[in-house]
Each structure stands twice: as structure tokens, then as C-alpha cells.
Structure 1
């Protein structure tokens, strides 16, 4: 993987465990020559990971819509800043530039981006690894809900297995590099999920 798109929050809750994990991930990106693709912001977890990759002499491509740039939340020090007309173009550009995806703690936008690329993987529109850095159990309840979806036969186990997760940055990257799962794009033809 030469580039990874990181979805994360425009807020930061001050958690030192999260800060350490983000800094470790950023150092691993720089050490492994992985370009960070992210939302182009200078605030929150977004700003922290961009700054940390740059501090480690890594490459950072930010992708930000014009309206957010106008609000002066764009990170002007990144290696490359791509400005899009809207959020839809931003998400498509980020996905196109990435060889994989990592989800860090965040809010609604982070979850929306995560589920969009996960759905695309399930449908066979890409075959890129999707990893969740589950810092301090942040996504435990989300994973539990996914398990309920499998138990209730609304989600196939093989599609649930498309979500790679770890609470350790280096472990997550290794799992993503070993990703070989094949999505089931004909899920809709099988009326019986079990």
C-alpha cells in the first residue's frame, strides 16, 4: 500500500491514548513510505494526524471542499491540498487516491465515510482493505451492533469479516497488508443469508 485514506474526527477529546495511537500510526506511515490521504482539515484528529505525518517527513494529501476551505479549517502546510466543489467529490477523490482505508475515532462524518467505502467493498466496487483502529474500545459498541446484524440475519458473516480491526497501529497495518478477503457482490441473489 502506497497510500491510505484515514477517516477521523474534526474534533479531539484530549485522550492521551488516542493521541499516542495517532502519533504511532503517523510514524508508521512515514517509515513505510505510505502517503496519508485525509480530509484536508487542520483541526481535531484530522489536524493531529496530518501534523504528525509531516513531522516524521511523510507525505500528506488533503482533500477538502471549497466551503470548508472558506471557513479557514484547511491545512495549508500539507504536501498537496486538493480542493473540490462539494463533499461528494471530496469523498470520491479520497477513495480514488487510496490503496486502503483506516478509520480512527470520529463522529457522524467518520461513520458515514466508513460505511460508504465498506458498502462499496461489499458490492465489489473495490477490493481495498478497510481497517478500524479501535483505540481504547471506541468502536466496541459498533462492532457489537454488526454482530447483532449477523445474528439477526441482516448481514452475512463473510461481509462482517470485511472489517479489519485492532487497537494497535502497526498490527492494523500488517493485517491490512495481508487482506485477501473477497467480497460477495451477489449478496442480493441469495435470499437466505445463513
Structure 2
């Protein structure tokens, strides 16, 4: 049973970051990029960490940014992070795409973009299969571990498929916390700026 003090004490859940795991921001992080964010770690080595913010849709679609690309479906673009915002990244479930980086079972990063475009233009499903991002999130060696130690992030073993299916910004963050249970579920109901409660 949690006391009131325990509930409001923000502390790490002691899960170690790794490729394929997820960062969930603490509820009071006031940052337009990382506040209430859910970040999939696509690379985590001694050299540093790379992640993609899964729940920050941009007000543009794929047709808007690719010259000569005309798809009937409005395919959303997400803000993967503040680094290299002029670069397109894509997370997908398409096995056999040349040059794709395996992230987790049945999930890959990037690869032959012509093959990705061909898949889309042939009318195959997009939702839950491919997600596009502009930019990425990056941490230098030990930087992420320091931020976790400072209780900025929780680390989760979230199912990537569930992240790919969810579109709403705050809802994905809330659901990720609720899956951790206990006091983390209570965090999901905190106002981002407590004074406005």
C-alpha cells in the first residue's frame, strides 16, 4: 500500500535501458519535445543511445514532404526528436527490406526506401506496419543513464506493436504508465502543470 508521499515520489523503476525498450517521461517534465513522451530505443551502445518519440504527430503527412510521391492515404509523420529534423526515419514490420536495422522481433528501422514506397503504392496496410518520423532523439555515452538516475525517465519493456497501433499523443503516454501498474497508473492522471489542477 502506498502512502501519499510514496505516490508523489518520482523514482526509477530500475529497468535497464536497451535496444527495443521504451522510455516513458515522468509526468511533470515540461519540455515541448519530451514532455509526456514515449520513446522507443532503436540503438543503445557504449557510444550512445538513439530513440524515436512515438507519440508526437506533426501537422504534415508523407505526401507533404516527398516530392513526386502521391498516396491516396494521408500517412502521418511523427517528430522523432530534435536531432536531424530534416531526415526521414521509418520504423516498420517488413521483413526482407534490404539494409534495415533489426530493432526487436519483427520490427526494423529504415532500409531500402524504394521498397517501402513500393509497398505503400501497392495499397498494403500502413497502420501498425510502418511509422514515419522526422528527426530522432539522441544521448551521448552515459547521458541517458544519468537522466534515468535523476528520475526523468522510466524504462519499460512495452510491446512495440501496441506503440505502432496507437496514434493519440497523451493517450499513448497514459496507457504506457497504466501498464506498469501501481503508483505509475496514478501518475497517468496527474496534470502536467499541477498548479492548473
TM-score bracket relative to the smaller structure? under 0.3
Higher RCO, Cα 8 Å, sep 6+? 2
Q: With structure 2 as the length reference, what TM-score do the two structures score?
A: 0.22
Q: With structure 1 as the length reference, what TM-score do the two structures score?
A: 0.23
Q: Which structure features the higher share of helix residues?
A: 1
Q: Which has the larger radius of gyration?
A: 2
Q: Which structure features the higher share of strand residues?
A: 2
